[in-house]
Amino acid sequence: MRLGDFKVLTFDCYGTLIDWEKGLTSALEPLVHRARVKLTPDAVMAEFARHEAAQQSATPAARYPDLLAEVHRRLARQWEVTLPDAQHAAFGRSVPQWPAFADTAAALGYLKGHYKLVILSNVDRESFAGSNAHLGVTFDAVCTAEDIGSYKPDPRNFRYLIDTVAKLGFPPGQILHTAQSLFHDHVPAQAAGLRSAWIDRRQAREGWGATPAPQGAPTYDFRFVSLAAMVSAHQADSSG
């Protein structure tokens, strides 16, 4: 199997294209600073992951800024911090300020010349539009949790993705789902019959960061430590 066997790259955004752990760390810093307990960065990310997954399961139709605000409230209660609602809401609106990984824009620019590019993201349209300004390309389709009414890893999100790509004229066998999170993306993508490429952004660090641990033994078809490494592999395939 080669990267050139596919016609469509479907992307998770946050954690894959956008450095959401850096963005989350910055946005959560005021709350963490006031916490009654001493927290390591890994502990902060793990608690965020736990509360976000629980909230997404409990309120799948909630828009992401509202869901993030509720996660912030949950963390504040856990860490015994009292804050005005405006600060919870501000955290919910922070997504457009989260930075892209350094290799993202150039890599997407290259890949755009070889594939259709599609987003499947656990955010709302407005938040993604803010992030898209950091990405440097126009995507051929954008599928958000707001459009679907549920959050990954719900199988509905991947059925919606497959249907969206079909409208572009491509069957599932021509899709390569490209993502960092084994929990949110690779397990359900493989269950939906899609091939996948793991962008292992955390390859030098222990733990799962801001995503829950995946269940079972996730599989994937390609692994790259960065999007730039994926581009290099495609260039090598193309010249071989």
Q: Is domain 20-97 given the CATH code 1.10.150.750 in the classification?
A: yes
* Catalytic one of 12, 154, 185, 221: 12
Active site residue 5: no
Instruction: Check residue 216 and give its pLDDT.
Output: 78
Type of residue at 64: Y
Distance of alpha carbon 11 from the chain centroid: 8
List C-alpha distances in Å: 191 to 34, 57, 229.
Answer: 42, 19, 26
Beta bridge partners of 120: 143
Fold entry, domain 3-19+98-239: Rossmann fold (3.40.50)
Instruction: Check residue 83 and give its pLDDT.
Output: 94
pLDDT beneath 50, residues of the chain = none
The answer to whether 209 and 86 are in contact (CB under 8 A) is no
| From-to residues of CATH 1.10.150.750 in the chain | 20-97
For 117-130, what is each residue's pLDDT tens digit? 999 999 999 999 99
| From-to residues of CATH 3.40.50.1000 in the chain | 3-19+98-239
Instruction: Check residue 240 and give its pLDDT.
Output: 60
Instruction: Check residue 112 and give its pLDDT.
Output: 98
Instruction: Check residue 229 and give its pLDDT.
Output: 97
Instruction: Check residue 239 and give its pLDDT.
Output: 74
Taking the model in full, what pTM does it have? 0.94
